[in-house]
Amino acid sequence: MSIEPLSGAAAAQMLRAMREKRPLVHCLTNEVVQEITANVLLAAGASPAMVVAEEEAAYFAAAADALLVNVGTPYPARLRAMHASAESAAANARPWVLDPVAAGGIPWRDGEIRKLLAKRPTVVRGNASEILALAGAGAGGKGVDSTDASSAAIVPAQHLAKASGAIVCVTGETDFITDGERTLSVSGGHVMTTLVVGTGCSLSALVAAFCAASNDRLEATAAACALAKRASERAYAVAPAPGSFHAAYLDALYLIEPESFLE
């Protein structure tokens, strides 16, 4: 199966559409990354809302433009809100993204991730070890971090996409995005991105934002990856250490214009 790089024209169009819509993204995410997730969405041009109580999450999922479900710090009440919100998003034709943090490493969590996967997310975005584990081809990474190369997860990601009906986005040195038939790649970025917590989790939120603004969810997902990769490159050029890189990454997400993908 051939792999196509995402075109600059598609990335530009998707970023323009996302900024025009300024989608409201409902985030059910982990305790570690709430702030970077909200800030990444705001800087890129979307609108975050962390509506987490079981009593209100499903209601809000029907009203928001997209939903993120990230299982980084799961516990029963949060998982109940996640299941109800995923059902509500699907019933109201809203895209939703599953981020299977640490898949393969913890049996109870794996069971919960499988139950969420059965609810048919629009996109599953994870690092290579997480996607390999979900595809039945690996035993997880080092906690929340990947110990595998994204290139090793291309074929398993394609199988997982076919089996689950979701678009599967596996990130790493190169990001690969597949629906099981077509596979896009996004290269570049900088490894410094892995030294700032929440860059993967917040990318999953960005994928939700892009999917809210286009019906081509494969290209929308790849465009979110392309924005993150370009922002990482710009950030590293001015801030080559984690603390300042974090701030520069947000700045770059804000400053990058759609036209820059056409250069």
Ligand X SMILES: Nc1ncnc2c1ncn2[C@@H]1O[C@H](COP(=O)(O)OP(=O)(O)O)[C@@H](O)[C@H]1O
Ligand Y SMILES: Cc1ncsc1CCOP(=O)(O)O
Q: Which residues bind ligand X (CB under 6 A)?
A: 127, 145-146, 171-173, 175, 189-191, 193-194, 199-200, 203, 228-229
- Residue 38 within binding range of ligand Y, rule CB under 6 A: no
Q: Which of Mg ion, ligand X, ligand Y, none sits in contact with 73, Cβ below 5 to 8 A by type?
A: ligand Y
- Residue 141 within binding range of Mg ion, rule CB under 5 A: no
Residue 234 labelled as part of a binding site: no
> How many angstroms separate the first and last alpha carbons of the chain?
28
The closest of 65, 150, 135 to 100, measured between CA atoms, is 135
Q: How far is the CB of 61 from ligand X (least distance, A)?
A: 22
- Residue 201 within binding range of ligand Y, rule CB under 6 A: yes
- Residue 231 within binding range of ligand Y, rule CB under 6 A: no
Query: If you search the block for the tokens 């290269």, which residue do you land on?
Result: 187
Q: b/e per residue, 237-249, with b = 16+ CB within 10 A?
A: eebeeeeebbebb
Residue 182 labelled as part of a binding site: no
- Residue 151 within binding range of ligand Y, rule CB under 6 A: no
- Residue 139 or 195: which CB sits closer to ligand Y? 195
CA–CA gap between residue 126 and residue 263 (Å, rounded): 29
Q: How far is CA 71 from the centre of its chain?
A: 12
- Residue 12 or 192: which CB sits closer to Mg ion? 192
- Decide if 177 contacts 184 (C-beta within 8 A): yes
- Residue 200 within binding range of Mg ion, rule CB under 5 A: yes
Site of interaction with Mg ion (CB under 5 A): 101, 200
